[in-house]
Amino acid sequence: MFTSNKKGKVVVLTHSPSISIVVPALNEEDNIKAAVNSALLALDDANVKGEIIIINDGSTDNTGRIAEEMKQSDKRISVIHHSTPMGMGYSFWDGVSKANNEVVTIFGGDNEGVPSEYFLYLHLFKYVDIVVPFFTNAQRSALRVVISKVYSIAVKILLGLKVHHSTSPVLYRRSILNDINLRSHGFCYQPELLFKTIRRGYLYAEVPFFTLSRVSGKSSIFRLKSILNIVYDFSIIFLDRLFSKKQEELDPSSATVCRRKKVEKLLG
């Protein structure tokens, strides 16, 4: 792990990085408790310092109440309430703004993820600033497979992203997100964020993840309104790609900068 001391010199940390897990939840009363408990258990099993930031994104069921009850039972849990649904991207960014730890990621309140998978690759932050998972055992309907394929092709063509899976729960070094501006507040926030951080030059690693099937409820991503919002967001992000400045300064405490300095020193 890398950081900067008061003199601005990059130094290597030997401890395992701490992690902030943002858990957005919209009407997930049947899933949120299991999702958070599984994340806490995984933190304990891996002996990783972490926090859970639940984002109650305007739920009309008992999600908010359940989240507050869980907050009272564990000091690692905090809760943010939105009066109306603000979207996945907005919720993630809201969580990032409150995060206190070195690495930040998202874990769905639908409890489809396997939290222990997140902590297998924290050691990679010695070398990279982004860890991008791809699912190896995802069980999906034929329709969902087709839609996912079309979506992946669109991401590669419009944004030039060549990762296996651009909507997976990516792990970021929190400090590299400080000056990233996103256009999308919905489902497209993840490919946009990946595009902007990778284009800036941050090093990343792709790793295999196992996942679970949703226990209760249905995803809202396949609703007509969500699909139209995705098309709109991609249009905006594509235009931003065409006309925005490409060369931007990197976070001096990033692994990317540290490794680059070491190579430059070797080259003289």
CATH second-level architecture of 2-260?
Answer: Alpha-Beta Complex (3.90)
Structure tokens at 238: 């594509």
- Judged against a pLDDT cut of 90, whether residue 203 lies above it is answered with yes
Cα torsion through 201, 131, 207, 170, rounded to 10? -120
What was the pLDDT predicted at 5? 46
3-state helix, strand, coil in the chain (%, to 5): 45, 20, 40
How many other C-beta atoms are found inside a 10 Å radius of the C-beta of residue 28?
28
pLDDT tens-digit readout, 33-62 = 999 999 999 999 999 999 999 999 999 999
State pTM to two decimals: 0.85
- Judged against a pLDDT cut of 60, whether residue 217 lies above it is answered with no
- The confidence band for 4, taking pLDDT boundaries of 50, 70 and 90, is very low
Sole residue written with tokens 């249009």: 235
- Do the beta carbons of residue 64 and residue 98 sit within 8 Å? no
Shortest CA distance to 132 belongs to which of 117, 150, 147?
A: 117
